[in-house]
Amino acid sequence: MELVTPEIGLVFWTTVSFLVLFFILAKFAWKPIMGAIDERERSIEDALLKAEAAKEEMARLTNENEVLLKQARAERDLILQEARKVKEQIVSEAKESAQKEGARQIELARIEISNQKAIALADVKNQVAALSLEIAEKVLRKQLEDSNRQDALVAELLKEVKL
């Protein structure tokens, strides 16, 4: 039962030793411990403030990045639109040039065909004329073999000619 009911001497010495320990701790350990705790609290607050500032900076940078991304997309769209216009212009110019060149080639072919046709017609006319002369010569030779026929032909021609 001694443990349950302490004696006065034990309570006195326990209180004295506690007060001495408290005084020593208050004099030598309390201020450094409290200083360290205060320092730790300030460093945590500073870290939180820096984290908040970093968070705000990240939000600002994210917003700036989004703005820059929108600008880049707008510039890309503008460049693509200009490239499409240039492509369409080049294609239309190429088509127009090809059509002009095709028309020029067709016109040159028509001229060449008409020249070849004229040459061929002239050649046919020359051949027809030469053939006609040959036939006429042969016919006249046949008819003029006989002198009576010659006299009759001259007389007939003279009748046709009127002076």
Domain boundaries in the chain?
Answer: 8-160
Residue 2 scores a pLDDT above 70? no
CB under 8 Å to 143, separation ≥6 — which residues? 149, 153
pLDDT tens for residues 19-53? 999 999 888 888 888 889 999 999 999 999 999 99
User: pTM score, two decimals?
Assistant: 0.42
The b/e string for 22-54 (b: 16+ C-beta within 10 A; e otherwise) is eeeeeeeeeeeeeeeeeeeeeeeeeeeeeeeee
3-state secondary structure of 112: helix
pLDDT per residue as tens digits for the range 82-133: 999 999 999 999 999 999 999 999 999 999 999 999 999 999 998 888 888 8
Task: Report d(CA 73, CA 50) in Å as an integer.
Answer: 34
- Say if residue 163's pLDDT is above 60: no
